[in-house]
Amino acid sequence: MKSTWKHVLAASAIAMFTALPARAEEPIKVGIIGLDTSHVTAFTELLNNPDNAKHVPGAKVVAAYQGGSDDIESSYSRVEGYTRTLQEDYGVEIVPTIEDLCAKVDAVLLESVDGRPHLEQARPVFEAGKRVFIDKPVAGSLKDAIEIYRLGKLHGVPWFSSSSYRFYDSMTALMQQDVGDIKGAISFGPATYEEHHPDLFWYGVHPTEALFTALGRGCESVVRTTTEDTDVVTGVWSGGRVGTLRGLRNAATPHGVILFGAKAVAHQEDSGDYAPLVAEIVKFFQTGVAPVSPEETIEIFAFMEAADESKRQGGAVVTIADVMKANGGPLE
């Protein structure tokens, strides 16, 4: 037991001191894992181009590891192009291993579009004591997401994951409206499937994240109705709050949130962009304080896994506690 605690304390010290540059005025050196999503070039543009109107100062992408998944076309078909853009437009160094990447940077953006390799890609990052943002989906399964949570705790390394939907200016404006005590919410948005991931993990994570932005933690049970074009997932939260996710496919796929309060009902009025999320990531790299707790992220993925289990059971009510237990929980 003593050696374990020594290890945790040492890892915590590494996380505290190695994730930051030597002098406060220097930008944090950022490494990217996974060059198979548009987030790679979009985030790098915001960080590395001071002439961009929405430039986010304080960090700079300096190195990247390509990654890529050979069984997902939207992954392997993009790696070469995004690699070339990072090299030619932003001078980013491409390195052969994640270990090499960690040796060159202060913090990491884990961007692989495929959630399945995230656990093994995150492992050397945690071992190196680097603060890490893990893009959606945090993992390819709830079991892996829980293991990522435990690795972060073991090594004392801060991390967080989030959809950009959470930080859209329009979402912030919605949550600032005085509706009184929030009694429930509806979140709607695109929810296309990818055969290697649980149904909602691939794209339904976006409107699910927005639903949790509105209601926070405390979901207790879930029930799902599914058709070819639509998923409707209803969760019951503590205190009797009710949250509904409407996942859209094969038709118009706008997104938004409706809040139901004791005093008023309010609607999200607009969309958003990546800049607020990137600003939160930089702040996290600087402080080590996650804007979204790992516990909330795990509950988001438990909600989506419970929705899958409800579908398997023909629309039965499934508790969050049961899916957590079935996938290696509860959290410690």
Residue-wise pLDDT for 116-137, tens only, equals 999 999 999 999 999 999 999 9
| C-beta separation of 140 from 131 below 8 A | no
CA distance 23 to 28: 9
Q: 107: helix, coil or strand?
A: strand
Residues 6 or more apart whose Cβ sits within 8 Å of residue 269: 170, 173, 174
pLDDT number for residue 44: 98
CA distance 301 to 64: 27
pLDDT at 19 over 70: no
Closest to 248 (Cα-Cα) out of 320, 297, 193: 193
pLDDT tens profile 89-122: 999 999 999 999 999 999 999 999 999 999 999 9
DSSP state for residue 164 in the 8-state scheme: G
Specify the amino acid at residue 61. Answer: V
| C-beta separation of 122 from 91 below 8 A | no
pLDDT tens profile 159-207: 999 999 999 999 999 999 999 999 999 999 999 999 999 999 999 999 9
Closest to 40 (Cα-Cα) out of 120, 106, 109, 108: 109
| Helix residue ranges per DSSP H, the chain | 2-18, 38-48, 73-76, 79-90, 98-104, 118-127, 142-155, 169-175, 205-215, 275-287, 294-312, 320-326
Which two three-digit tokens encode residue 247?
A: 């996942």
Specify the amino acid at residue 128. Answer: A
pLDDT number for residue 332: 76
pLDDT at 217 over 90: yes
**150 exposure class (CB count in 10 Å sphere: 0-12, 13-18, 19+):** middle
Rounded to 5 degrees, φ, ψ at 222 are: -140, 145
pTM for the structure as a whole = 0.92
Q: What class, spelled out in words, does domain 2-161 have in CATH?
A: alpha beta
Task: Spell out the domain ranges in the chain.
Answer: 2-161, 165-275+300-326
pLDDT number for residue 25: 76
pLDDT at 13 over 60: no
Which two three-digit tokens encode residue 84?
A: 């070339």
Average pLDDT over residues 39-48: 98
CA distance 190 to 179: 26
pLDDT at 70 over 80: yes
Determine the length of the chain.
Answer: 332
The number of helix segments (H) and strand segments (E) in the chain equals: 12, 13
pLDDT number for residue 289: 98
Average pLDDT of the residues of the chain: 94
pLDDT number for residue 308: 98
Of the ranges 20-29, 94-103, 150-159, 238-247, which one carries the lowest mean pLDDT score? 20-29
Residue at token pair 């499934």:
318
Average pLDDT over residues 212-216: 98
pLDDT at 8 over 90: no
| C-beta separation of 176 from 149 below 8 A | no
CA distance 162 to 31: 18
CA distance 148 to 298: 10
Q: What class, spelled out in words, does domain 165-275+300-326 have in CATH?
A: alpha beta
pLDDT at 15 over 50: no
CA distance 211 to 185: 7
Residue at token pair 């005025």:
25
| C-beta separation of 319 from 306 below 8 A | yes
pLDDT at 234 over 60: yes
